[in-house]
Amino acid sequence: MAVKHNNGIILTTVEEVLSWGRRNSLWPASVGLACCAIEMMHTAASRFDTDRLGIIFRGSPRQSDVLIVAGTVVNKVAPMLKLIYDQMPDPKWVIAMGGCSSAGGPFPTYATLQGVDRIIPVDVYVPGCPPTPQALLWGILELQKKIKAKKEGKVWEEIPVREVPTASQPIPIKEKSPLGF
Amino acid sequence: MVKIKYVERPELTNRERIFFVDFIKGMRVTFRNLLRKTVTTAFPFEKLTPPKRFRGTHAHRVKNGKEPPSFKVIEKFMDIDTGESRCVACYMCMQACPVPFLFNIEAVQLPDGRKKVVRFDMNLLNCMYCGLCTEACPVDCLIMTDIYETASYHRASCVLHIDDMAKRGIDFDRRRYDEPDRIWIDDDQRSKLWGQIKWS
Amino acid sequence: MHLWADLEELKLLEGKFSDIQIEKTENFTSITVKKEDLLNALGFLKEDLGYKMFIDLTAVDYYPQEPRFLCVYILFSPDKKKRIAVKCWAENDSVPSVISLWKGAKWAEREVYDLFGIKFEGHNNLVRMFLWEGYKYHPLRKDFPKEGIQEVYLPSLNLRPEEIPAHNYSPYHTYVPTMEELEKTQKSRMEKRSQIVLNWGPLHPGTHGTIWFLFDMEGETIKNCEIILGQLHRGIEKLAEDLTYTQIIPYTDRMDYISALCSQVAYVNTVEKLLGVEPPEKAKWIRTMMCELQRINSHLLWLGTYALDLGALTIFLYAFREREKIMDIIEGIAGIRLNSTYIRIGGLSKDLPEGALDVIKHFLQDFPEKLDEYETILTKNRIWLRRNLNIGIVNKEQVYQYGLTGVVARSAGVPYDIRMLQPTDAYDKVDFDIPLGRVGDCYDRYLIRMEEMRQSLRIIEQCVEKIEKLKDDKHISTENPYVLPTLDEVFNSIESMVKDFNLRIYGEQAPEGEIYMSGENPRGELGFYIVSKGDGKPYRIKIRSGAFYNLQIFPELIKGRTVADAVALLGSLDPVVGETDR
Amino acid sequence: MELLGTVIGVTVKSLIFIIVMFLAAAYLTLLERKFAGHVQQRPGPLHVGPHGFLQPIADALKVLTKEDLVPDSVDKVLFYMASLLAFVPAIMILAVVPFGEPFTIFGLEIKPYVTDLNIAILLALAFGSLSIYGVIFAGWASNSKYPMIGGLRKAAVLIGYEVALGFAMVGPIMQAGSFSLREIVEAQSGMWFIIPNILAFVVIIFAILAETGRTPFDVQEAEAELVGGYVTEYTGMKFGLFPLAEWYIATFVLSAIAVILFFGGWQPLPLMGWLPIPDIIWFFIKVFLLFMFFLWVHWTLPRYRVDQITELAWKVMLPLALANILVVALWIIFIG
């Protein structure tokens, strides 16, 4: 990037390094609410081992960076979810896993919160009921892209609307950078 | 025939207790697993191909000459060119759906009396992927593809529109239309977990 | 077959109580008593006729008729293996409480009070079950809208002003409680007597979802315990009143999301009985097979989380490794890993794909050795024994008092298994054992679940043999007027297309009447009480959740024990919040 | 002049020790994650750097640059002090652990240990028991229920096992007739002390597991019961110090001491003396094997209840340790 002063360049490189560290050790707070929590566990289990990407689940929100809202959030639990989000230290991100947490899903009822993004800002929406572990992993990769692009603020202008994906092909190993994502 | 039996509770003998036999046995099991091969599929570098029946993101089959007879019946009332979505705006998917308001279908009457579908939106964030809509579609138009990588930064980009769905339908049929109805196809990936299955 | 009490013993009641009506249909048998006779009648049924097991209590709202609420009690007699339903009109919206007869009625009455607003005279602590204190409405009343009342402006935070992300997006929302209201709820549930009140949950790694425990603790010993439910109350029963019988099937998955197929089968069997539909032979066998696969799946999840709670982290991942295989099977057959909407009224949505039976056979071969691995690590491990032995002992009396079902009941030595009492599908044609415990502690429940997995394997083997014989049968009996035609029929014949349209639009026009039937879920008896008024949608569906009643005994068992025991006990009761809260 | 030389030497050496220990601890986390992964048939960290080799760096970067969030309700002074109190004693034990014989390069003699006290073991025990304060402070200062319970539990466990640990160390000391770890090692040139001290060895294994809070004794942060135990309220590096100190450094140091006491320190394995391996390497091989053994136990066994742990400590481990003293005494009298 066109930075004139040397220190500017140094700064940017430092930022690069920090963002590399952050996106390669995302520790989610294990907030399992409903069906999606099972698939979240499966994502962490042996078949689709999130630990490969440096993602380990922490019990306490104080030590976690990303909040994966897995399952239906009902009105009654919403304030507590907000509390958990507030307890997390910055920088923090939120993944709304599944339709319920993204937009109320198939429960347009008196008791259900129609989308967790009404109480806390959401970075990535993962549709599915529940999303398969691969879908959730894809969502996490999307979040890593976002962190890489320094789209940390919830500024909507910066966020492009992704075009519709069609066939999904594996990323060949050679395209992978030696430093991870 | 159903029988009733009582479970017997094993006892830990003193010999086992003193020589830690229980611990040693357990640790032998973990050690054996340590030597086994890993079962992990390194997403995104390796991917499990969903089975053909997988109920992923929705798509529209297009008019491509493979339509069922029922479509031929209704076709004459519709204005559909080859390569366009087969949807005949019968609203059956909407009727079958437990969450009907996730659909937003509009059709207009053309001057020559035929109907044309101008809008077919689905809000996937309200979808249960239960597949009732696809079973209700009388012209084999609405299908569910094997596409699951739909995570996005925006609520708006989780809403499907008719042209994307047609695009997906073409793509899906190109890849998997002629595939046999088998439980799964990527044996090499699955064999990591399953080992060698002998197929009949 | 049905388990309803026969008339002659009901005749005994007629003499005792003034104007009681006995109605016996093929699907349901009930006696309607007056409000003032209710307690005596129930007491007579419990003490003298031996209907001592409390199954369920629910209410139906016949708005605008007056009195509008009808309370329905369902009892079971373990000796005669018979069920009986007792109805009572709630004049001026109140009925006497029956917690003096059955402790298990405590939560059920609170639930009815919460959702209908019926007062129960004599209930010691009649507070809301699912919703919070200060919630203004009673949602299951017929004059309350399904969507609730959207009174607050609560837009999504990720949208630019005036952006409409989807056609069905509305910035207005139902009322979301504040933290203060929740604290008020907590205060109203339990007051502090000992040193500290520990909030265990609702968003806590150990509470299997979102159950909210309040422990009043003296040091680490729990002097008093209270459970707050409703952190996953999504209003499925309310939704179901607005859907056709077929459309409810996907929601039954999402109740007990760990054993989706079992819930589907239990529900679909009830509806088929109501409609008088008979599924083809092959469908029955496949249903049984899938149910047992799902049972193994569910027990494996239980094993994993249970071991994780007790500190054996590796077992968790071994159990999930095997779960992945079953998930693969279900995904290949039904299309979705977890909430597979596979069963349909009158059969199955799809036939088995090719290769399915090979995979299942392969699974049958290599699963037993994995089971042995788990057992070698755990069963005789001294730590495991010390954490499980004599913890949370359940006795027969409590089983009847609380209406405990499933593994919890069987651990106390009560042979209560719906697969044996009321065999549906192919359960009367396969042979398997029902393991029972003698002591009733966590260790018994552990052993029983391990044994049940082995028995499920036996059942699956027999099913696989049978299904191979029935290869070319139909998987759904579409000739029946109530059964949706398959896609090929719709494509090729105009009649079935019309039938399809009618069924989709108007729903299955079930005959007027009621039915209560249940299936044996991994978590206990999952019952469906359906009231049909003859139109395409059920007038009322009550879901009798096993986990709800099993969880109810937790506070009594945990008194005087430590938090560590609470983890073990909760794990061995194995509730699923989606089912307890519906 | 002489004094200045020693001061500089000691400072340099201790600096080297601390830095190396930090790096080692960071990579021990990777080792544990890899090991756990393969036990569970998954690869563990894989994509961050070749075979996840940069994972600890990424974690460190992230943890260090996390917002350092201190809840308002906590007792600030104790809150900060606790993390140091947990960390410093663990690393200070290193001062007395000898890694090998003194050797000379370019004519100057290098002692592979900071200092060789004649009461080294007592010092190690003292520092070990200091770390209890860190735990209790953390639990108290957080001013929240879960950390409180976690801290109390951990304190109960530590107190119980410190005693057993101390008595278990008596046997080797009696045989060597010295408190100095170096002399203990040299006393084992004939035969390792594991032979008469087998009971003490069992006790020490349990004690180390308990001291370092590994399963079956990880009651202090039993996730299902107390979310994170006494570290629940900690963020960033203040949190990072706790697991580093107790799971990695303490485990490493204590295994080192166990090796010195029972497995002849840096002396080669039996029948392998002819191998051209320097004694420091021998020492680290033994320590590494013991460390892996602890990991292996950690990832296999379930967890005791806290009252059962203390019961075990007082009713089983302490008597065993005392019995061991008797056995060794008899051994010394009769066999010599």
Per residue in A80-90, pLDDT (tens digit) is 888 888 888 88
Residue A156 vs residue C510, higher pLDDT: C510
User: By residue range, what is the domain housing residue C26?
Assistant: 7-121
Mean pLDDT of D66-94: 82
CATH code, domain with C87: 3.30.460.80
Residue B43, min C-alpha distance to chain D (Å)? 11
Most C CBs within 10 A among D225, D226, D299, D304, hence the mutation to make, goes to: D225
pLDDT tier for residue A4 given thresholds of 50, 70 and 90: very low
| Distance from chain centroid for Cα C466 | 29
Report the top-level CATH class of A25-153: alpha beta
pLDDT at C368 (0 to 100)? 92
pLDDT at D96 (0 to 100)? 81
Residue D215 vs residue A51, higher pLDDT: A51
Q: Is the pLDDT of residue C203 over 80?
A: no
Is the CB of C387 less than 8 angstroms away from the CB of D305? Answer: yes
Percent of chain C at pLDDT > 90 equals 8
Tokens of C244: 């056709």
Cα four-point dihedral sign D121, D123, D127, D129: positive
Over chain C, what is the mean pLDDT? 86
Per residue in D15-59, pLDDT (tens digit) is 887 888 888 888 888 888 889 889 888 888 888 878 888 888 888
Secondary structure string (H, E, C) spanning chain A: CCCCCHHHHHHHHHHHHHHHHHHHCCCEECCECCHHHHHHHHHHCCCCCHHHHCCCCECCHHHCCEEEEECCCECCCHHHHHHHHHHCCCCCEEEEEHHHHHHCCCCCCCCECCCHHHCCCCCEEECCCCCCHHHHHHHHHHHHHHHHCCCCCCCHHHCCCCCCCCCCCCCCHHHCCCCCC
Distance CA B32, CA C370 (A): 12
Q: What is the ipTM of this complex?
A: 0.90
Which domain-ending residue is among C100, C121, C142? C121
The closest alpha carbon to A24, from D238, D235, D40, D46, belongs to D46
Q: Is the pLDDT of residue B161 over 50?
A: yes
Which chain A residues touch B153 with a CB distance below 8 Å?
123-125, 142, 146, 151, 159-162
Mean pLDDT of B176-182: 84
Q: Is the pLDDT of residue C205 over 80?
A: no
User: A51 touching B, CB under 8 A?
Assistant: no
Percent of chain B at pLDDT > 90 equals 0
Question: Is B133 labelled a binding residue?
Answer: yes
Mean pLDDT of D93-109: 76
Q: Is residue C178 part of a domain?
A: no
Q: Which of D43, D297, D301 sits opposite B40 (nearest CB)?
A: D43
pLDDT tier for residue A10 given thresholds of 50, 70 and 90: low
Q: Is the pLDDT of residue A2 over 50?
A: no
Distance CA C177, CA D102 (A): 70
Per residue in A108-137, pLDDT (tens digit) is 888 888 888 888 888 888 888 889 898 898
| Distance from chain centroid for Cα C480 | 29
pLDDT at B62 (0 to 100)? 87
Mean pLDDT of D216-231: 73
Nearest CA in chain D to C383: D304
pLDDT tier for residue A153 given thresholds of 50, 70 and 90: very low
Which chain B residues touch A124 with a CB distance below 8 Å?
151-153
Q: Is the pLDDT of residue D219 over 80?
A: no
Is the CB of A112 less than 8 angstroms away from the CB of C235? Answer: yes
Mean pLDDT of A103-110: 87
Q: Parse chain B into domains and list their residue ranges.
A: 58-176
Residue C14 vs residue A42, higher pLDDT: A42
Q: What is the dihedral of CA D7, D12, D16, D22, to 10 degrees?
A: 70
Phi, psi of C86 (to 5 degrees): -120, 130
Tokens of C494: 């105009």
Is the CB of B158 less than 8 angstroms away from the CB of A170? Answer: no
Over chain A, what is the mean pLDDT? 78
For chain C, which chains pass the contact test of at least 3 CB pairs under 8 Å? Answer: A, B, D
User: C436 touching A, CB under 8 A?
Assistant: no
Residue D125, min C-alpha distance to chain C (Å)? 28
Nearest CA in chain C to A33: C209
pLDDT at C425 (0 to 100)? 83
Most B CBs within 10 A among A118, A156, A168, hence the mutation to make, goes to: A168
Bridge partners of residue A32, in order along the sequence: A70
Neighbours of C16 (CB within 10 A): 12
Per residue in C63-77, pLDDT (tens digit) is 888 888 888 998 888
pLDDT tier for residue A173 given thresholds of 50, 70 and 90: low
Per residue in C390-424, pLDDT (tens digit) is 888 898 888 998 989 989 999 988 888 888 888 88
Q: Is residue C296 part of a domain?
A: yes
Chain C residues interacting with chain D (CB cutoff of 8 angstroms): 196, 198-199, 204-206, 220, 307-314, 317-318, 321, 377-378, 381, 383-384, 386-387, 562-567
For chain B, which chains pass the contact test of at least 3 CB pairs under 8 Å? Answer: A, C, D
Q: How many domains in chain C? A: 2
H/E element, C461: helix C442-469
Distance CA D142, CA D151 (A): 10
Q: Is the pLDDT of residue A6 over 60?
A: no
Is the CB of D61 less than 8 angstroms away from the CB of A21? Answer: yes
Question: Is B158 labelled a binding residue?
Answer: no
Which chain A residues touch D236 with a CB distance below 8 Å?
89
Nearest CA in chain B to D316: B18
User: D73 touching A, CB under 8 A?
Assistant: no
pLDDT at A169 (0 to 100)? 57
Residue numbers of C between 84 and 123 with CB closer than 8 Å to A:
none
Neighbours of D103 (CB within 10 A): 12
Locus of tokens 């009643």: C549
Q: Parse chain A into domains and list their residue ranges.
A: 25-153
Over chain D, what is the mean pLDDT? 83
Residue D40, min C-alpha distance to chain A (Å)? 7
pLDDT tier for residue A177 given thresholds of 50, 70 and 90: low
Per residue in C157-184, pLDDT (tens digit) is 877 777 777 888 888 888 888 888 888 8
Mean pLDDT of C508-512: 84
* In CATH, B58-176 is 3.30.70.3270: yes
Which chain C residues touch A108 with a CB distance below 8 Å?
146-147
Residue D132 vs residue D202, higher pLDDT: D202
Is the CB of A161 less than 8 angstroms away from the CB of B39? Answer: no
User: A132 touching B, CB under 8 A?
Assistant: yes
Per residue in C520-538, pLDDT (tens digit) is 888 888 889 999 888 888 8
Q: Which of A18, A176, A179 sits opposite D54 (nearest CB)?
A: A179
Q: Is the pLDDT of residue A79 over 80?
A: yes
Distance CA C504, CA C299 (A): 36
Q: Which of B38, B98, B152 sits opposite A162 (nearest CB)?
A: B152
pLDDT at C500 (0 to 100)? 86
pLDDT at A178 (0 to 100)? 57
Q: Is the pLDDT of residue C219 over 70?
A: yes
Residue B170, min C-alpha distance to chain A (Å)? 10
Per residue in D153-192, pLDDT (tens digit) is 888 888 888 888 888 888 888 888 888 888 888 888 777 8
Contact criterion met (CB below 8 Å) for B23 and B17: no
Which chain D residues touch A86 with a CB distance below 8 Å?
none
Q: Is the pLDDT of residue C208 over 80?
A: no
User: C494 touching A, CB under 8 A?
Assistant: no
Question: Is B93 labelled a binding residue?
Answer: yes
Is the CB of D227 less than 8 angstroms away from the CB of C378? Answer: no
User: D308 touching B, CB under 8 A?
Assistant: no
Per residue in B121-149, pLDDT (tens digit) is 888 888 888 888 898 888 888 888 888 88
Most B CBs within 10 A among C373, C380, C385, hence the mutation to make, goes to: C380
Is the CB of D215 less than 8 angstroms away from the CB of C313? Answer: yes
The closest alpha carbon to D161, from D132, D185, D182, belongs to D132
Classify residue C214 by its DSSP letter.
Answer: E
Q: Burial letters for D270-299: b for 16+ Cβ neighbours within 10 Å, e otherwise?
A: eeeeeeeeebeebbbbbbeebbeebbbbbb
Q: Which of B26, B30, B40 sits opposite D42 (nearest CB)?
A: B40
Per residue in C23-35, pLDDT (tens digit) is 888 888 888 888 8
pLDDT at C299 (0 to 100)? 92
Q: Is residue C479 part of a domain?
A: yes
Residue A178 vs residue A161, higher pLDDT: A178
Distance CA C554, CA C440 (A): 14
Neighbours of C461 (CB within 10 A): 16
pLDDT tier for residue A151 given thresholds of 50, 70 and 90: very low
Percent of chain C at pLDDT > 70 equals 99
pLDDT tier for residue A29 given thresholds of 50, 70 and 90: confident
Q: Which of C250, C325, C447 sits opposite B98 (nearest CB)?
A: C250
Residue numbers of C between 236 and 255 with CB closer than 8 Å to A:
236, 238-239, 250-251, 254
Which chain B residues touch C328 with a CB distance below 8 Å?
184, 190, 193-194
Is the CB of A132 less than 8 angstroms away from the CB of B148? Answer: yes
Is the CB of D45 less than 8 angstroms away from the CB of A54? Answer: yes
Contact criterion met (CB below 8 Å) for A147 and A19: yes
User: B27 touching D, CB under 8 A?
Assistant: yes
Query: How long, in residues, is chain A?
Result: 181
Nearest CA in chain C to B193: C325
pLDDT at A11 (0 to 100)? 60
pLDDT at C296 (0 to 100)? 92
Q: At what angle do helices C356-378 and C313-334 cross, to 10 degrees?
A: 170
pLDDT at A152 (0 to 100)? 45
Residue C562, min C-alpha distance to chain B (Å)? 24
Q: Is residue C376 part of a domain?
A: yes
Mean pLDDT of D3-14: 81
Secondary structure string (H, E, C) spanning chain D: CHHHHHHHHHHHHHHHHHHHHHHHHHHHHHHHHHHHHHHCCCCCCCCCCHHHCCHHHHHHHHHHCCCCCCCCCCCHHHHHHHHHHHHHHHHHHHHHCCCCCCEEECCEEECCCCCCCCCHHHHHHHHHHHHHHHHHHHHHHCCCHHHHHHHHHHHHHHHHHHHHHHHHCHHHHHHHCCCCHHHHHHHCCCCCCCCCCHHHHHHHHHHHHHHCCCCCCCHHHCCCCCCCHHHCCCCHHHHHHHHHHHHHHHHHHHHHHHHHHHCCCCCCCCCCCCCCCCHHHHHHHHHHHHHHHHHHHHCCCCCCCHHHHHHHHHHHHHHHHHHHHHHHHHHHHHCC
Nearest CA in chain C to A45: C317
Q: Is the pLDDT of residue C17 over 80?
A: no
Task: Name every residue whose Cβ is closer than 8 Å to that of residue C403 and which is 6 or more positions away in sequence.
Answer: C53, C54, C55, C56, C102, C104, C549
pLDDT at A1 (0 to 100)? 40
Mean pLDDT of C436-459: 90
Percent of chain A at pLDDT > 70 equals 76
Over chain B, what is the mean pLDDT? 85
Nearest CA in chain C to A44: C317
pLDDT at C448 (0 to 100)? 92
Residue B111, min C-alpha distance to chain C (Å)? 28
Locus of tokens 């090796």: D259
For chain D, which chains pass the contact test of at least 3 CB pairs under 8 Å? Answer: A, B, C
